[in-house]
Amino acid sequence: MSEQPLVGISSCLTGMAVRYDGRHKYQSAVMAAIAPKVRLLPLCPESMAGMGIPRGPVNLIEQRGQIRARGRDDPERDVTERLLTMGRIVARTYPDLCGYVLQSRSPSCGFGSTPIWNADQSQMIRSDGHGLFVSALLKAFPDLPLLDDRQLDPGSIARFLTAVRERAEAIGSRHGGNH
């Protein structure tokens, strides 16, 4: 394959100050071990959705069997549809996406690590939720390889890069080798 596979990444992990608190979560392991082998596509679904930087923190809540993204300090603020829409837009815009490196515990980008709160946000129900952006992305690409900032050991990175290459080859063969 002449072109490196396209891999999305939570922008904050690349050093962009896009988090709710206006900070970043730069991960040197990503830049050293992953960036040279792929084309990184830094995205922050929350800032892309017009939520601002900095912005009020958001929690995922479970209400009537549904997961919603609500403001922690402003519970009337509901950004659920914004985050789901960002996932759908990214899936449509980047059909050749071959993997994603995520910020754990994020209401948009967490995978299996995001706290889910009860409806009034007074009690955490569980800690293994999926961020809404990632949920929408996985609906479009159920086999998308994922890695988060808690999995940056050499073995996990190697397995992720192998899965990314396999997906890139599968996408390439579906498109007759051209993408």
Residue carrying the six token digits 């809540």: 61
pLDDT, block means (10 residues), the chain with 179 residues: 87 96 94 96 95 95 95 95 97 97 97 97 97 98 97 97 97 69
Mapping DSSP onto H, E and C, the string for 95-150 reads: CCEEEEEECCCCCCCCCCCEEEECCCCCCEEEEEECCHHHHHHHHHCCCCCEEECC
The backbone torsions φ and ψ at residue 6, rounded to the nearest 5 degrees and listed phi first, read -85, 125
Amino acid 1: pLDDT = 45
CA 137 to chain centre: 8
Q: What is the pTM of this model?
A: 0.92
Amino acid 89: pLDDT = 97
Amino acid 126: pLDDT = 96
Helix axes 132-140, 80-93, angle to 10 degrees: 40
Amino acid 177: pLDDT = 53
